[in-house]
């Protein structure tokens, strides 16, 4: 689809090549009369969630060494959010907010799921009394589909399949007990772990190796599987528009084991050491400097592989003429620590930008907001209200998010957000234009950062500024949590 400068999306990718592209000027995506499906009165909707994708690893956000040409091309056609954060971390709480438009933080009335080995506060099923965006759209005649390899959603008891005509779960990611872990090649287990890995991560890698022993080529990796299945769905759904498609890719979540050609983009092709494909969730002292360097290359390779297959999906959308009538939202649920502040993995107290800052692109088929940026504090619970408003449907009464669509035209949403709050297990995080505060949810162990002077949040100034800490805790965290003390589990 040509832009105002005559550059098509595929031309952009050729121009970008293997490099990154910064956000440019506005792009015109065609006349407003062209976006409606030929057989219906509403546009299609596609939501793409790329698990653990850090904002600072996307070229469109200024990264000069990670290769993400397809996400960069999308940015040139989208409204790009500079201050996008998950409303809660990690996997399941974040997804609940996407599907229900309702905040899960501050994790009140949390009921731990039976049989789960990892269940931070808020990690629970979608409650029966809550309505999902898919349930609302299917009542309006949409074809609905969820395609995912995120193993935490496999259990029907988690309720993420509600409202979907099609729900396609691709087995085998991470700890999914799909194949007998005892069948894993132990030499490979040793090579894909490091001496400092704790036993839980060794067990994760062992299960993963057993699950992926059948691989013969790149198309057998998880990101290719997810996006190929999604392309197959498009081939069928184009004849039954409008449709609502959620693509929930667990990549670039660990284990990070992309094909060698992607790793070689970021590290010595002759590297022959052990591979830190699965980081401990904790202090990074278990890794050598060389292992940290290798871990970062593995993650970067996983990001680039995921970007490539996302690009294949986008090209299929283009080939089928669906770019002209589909609202597209692309984001992540959180990032991941790669030893920047002395932690690896996802740790509640380690809520630095590498964990909290996520990309968010919204591409409107009419080109509204294309190539522009917004500093509004956008989050996952905003997706459902925004989608419903674009379908001329009332926002469900349970939904607490905001309709972001006024931002397409340079206007403000209905309610101002001068600050934002989020939570991860027993910790809370909040920010405004000047400061970020991270603390236990009871206010203990505060860390305060001046993000204008210290955007990477390297210097804790809490002890010198107790008044600011108290103000942000009382007026932001406590108030947003309903005024009552936050639960500590």
Q: Mind listing the pLDDT tens digit for each residue in 427-456?
A: 999 999 999 999 999 999 999 999 999 999
Contact 239, 38 (CB under 8 A): no
Q: Of the residues 395, 417, 439, which one is the last residue of a structural domain?
A: 417
If asked whether residues 361 and 387 sit together in one domain, one would say yes
Task: Give the containing element (helix H, strand E) for 422.
Answer: strand 420-424
Specify whether 402 is located in the same domain as 363: yes
Clarify whether residues 27 and 82 are in a common domain. yes
Whether residues 389 and 482 share a domain: the answer is no
For residue 392, being part of any structural domain is answered with yes
Predicted confidence band at 165 (pLDDT cuts at 50, 70, 90)? very high
Are residues 404 and 478 both part of a single domain? no
**Does position 22 have pLDDT exceeding 90, yes or no?**
no
Query: pLDDT by residue (tens digit) across 43-91?
Result: 999 999 999 999 999 999 999 999 999 999 999 999 999 999 999 999 9
Averaged pLDDT for residues 95-109: 96
Contact 435, 467 (CB under 8 A): no
Domain assignment present for 75: yes
The CATH number covering residue 486 comes to 3.30.1120.10
Same domain for 332 and 449, yes or no, is no
Residue 15 lies in a domain: yes
Residue 3 pLDDT exceeds 70: no
Q: Looking at the structure, do residues 409 and 489 belong to the same domain, yes or no?
A: no
Which of 417, 446, 462 is at the close of a domain? 417
47 falls within a domain: yes
Average pLDDT, the chain: 92
For residue 122, what are the contacts with CB-CB under 8 A and spacing of at least 6? 88, 92, 93, 96, 104, 105, 107, 110, 423, 425
**Has residue 447 been placed in a domain?**
yes
Contact yes or no for 427/438 (Cβ under 8 A): yes
Map tokens 């219906």 to a residue. 40
Residue 23, pLDDT score: 35
Tell me how crowded residue 110 is: count the other CB atoms within 10 A of its CB. 17
**pLDDT reported for residue 112:** 80
pLDDT in tens, 222-248: 999 999 999 999 999 999 999 999 999
Same domain? For 116 and 240 the reply is: yes
- Clarify whether residues 479 and 400 are in a common domain: no
Domain with residue 106: its CATH number is 3.40.720.10
254 shares a domain with 121: yes
- Residue 2, domain member (yes or no): no
Instruction: Give the pLDDT confidence score for residue 276 in this predicted structure.
Output: 98
pLDDT at 196 over 70: yes
pLDDT at 311: 98
Give CA–CA dist 29/2, Å, rounded. 7
CA end-to-end span of the chain? 51
| Residue where a domain terminates, one of 417, 436, 468 | 417
- The average pLDDT across 364-379 equals 97
Are residues 431 and 410 part of one domain? no
Question: Does 197 map to a domain?
Answer: no
Predicted pLDDT at 335:
98
**80, part of any domain:** yes
Q: Which domain holds residue 366?
A: 9-179+216-267+281-417
Percent pLDDT > 90 in the chain is: 87
Same domain, 395 and 473: no
Indicate the number of domains in the chain.
Answer: 2
pLDDT band with cut points at 50, 70 and 90 for residue 113: confident
């Amino acid at each position: 689809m040509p832009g105002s400068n005559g550059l098509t999306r595929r031309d952009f990718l050729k121009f970008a090549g293997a490099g990154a592209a910064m956000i440019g000027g506005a792009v015109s995506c065609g006349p407003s009369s062209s976006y409606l499906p030929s057989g219906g009165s509403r546009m299609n909707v596609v939501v793409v969630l790329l698990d653990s994708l850090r904002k600072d690893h996307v070229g469109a956000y200024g990264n000069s060494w990670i290769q993400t040409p397809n996400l960069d091309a999308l940015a040139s056609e989208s409204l790009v959010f500079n201050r996008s954060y998950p409303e809660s971390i990690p996997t399941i709480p974040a997804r609940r907010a996407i599907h229900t438009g309702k905040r899960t933080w501050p994790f009140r009335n949390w009921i731990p799921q039976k049989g789960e080995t990892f269940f931070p506060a808020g990690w629970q099923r979608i409650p029966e009394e809550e309505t999902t965006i898919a349930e609302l759209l299917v009542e309006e005649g949409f074809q609905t589909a969820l395609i995912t390899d995120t193993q935490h959603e496999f259990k029907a008891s988690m309720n993420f399949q509600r409202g979907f005509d099609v729900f396609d779960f691709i087995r085998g990611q991470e700890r999914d007990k799909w194949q007998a872990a005892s069948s894993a090649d132990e030499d490979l287990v040793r090579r894909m772990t490091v001496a400092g890995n704790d036993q839980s991560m060794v067990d994760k890698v062992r299960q993963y190796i057993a699950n992926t022993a059948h691989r013969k080529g790149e198309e057998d990796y998880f990101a290719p599987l997810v996006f190929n299945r999604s392309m197959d769905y498009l081939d069928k759904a184009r004849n039954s528009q409008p449709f609502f498609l959620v693509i929930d890719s667990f990549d670039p979540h660990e284990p990070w084991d992309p094909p060698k050609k992607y790793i070689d983009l970021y590290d010595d092709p002759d590297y022959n050491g052990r591979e830190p494909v699965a980081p401990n969730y904790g202090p990074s002292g278990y890794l050598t400097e060389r292992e940290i360097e290798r871990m970062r290359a593995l993650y970067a390779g996983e990001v680039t592989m995921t970007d490539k297959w996302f690009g294949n999906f986008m090209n299929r959308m283009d080939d089928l003429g669906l770019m002209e009538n589909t609202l597209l939202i692309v984001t992540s649920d959180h990032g991941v620590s790669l030893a920047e502040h002395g932690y690896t993995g996802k740790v509640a107290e380690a809520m630095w930008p590498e964990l909290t800052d996520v990309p968010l692109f919204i591409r409107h088929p009419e080109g509204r907001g294309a190539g522009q940026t917004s500093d509004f504090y956008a989050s996952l619970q905003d997706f459902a209200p925004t989608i419903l408003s674009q379908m001329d449907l009332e926002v469900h009464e349970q939904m607490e998010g905001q309709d972001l669509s006024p931002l397409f035209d340079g206007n403000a949403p209905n309610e101002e957000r001068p600050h934002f709050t989020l939570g991860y297990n027993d910790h809370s995080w909040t920010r405004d234009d000047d400061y970020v505060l991270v603390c236990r949810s009871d206010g203990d162990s505060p860390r305060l950062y001046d993000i204008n002077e210290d955007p990477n949040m390297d210097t804790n100034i809490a002890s010198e500024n107790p008044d600011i800490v108290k103000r942000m805790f009382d007026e932001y965290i406590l108030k947003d949590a309903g005024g009552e003390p936050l639960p500590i589990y």
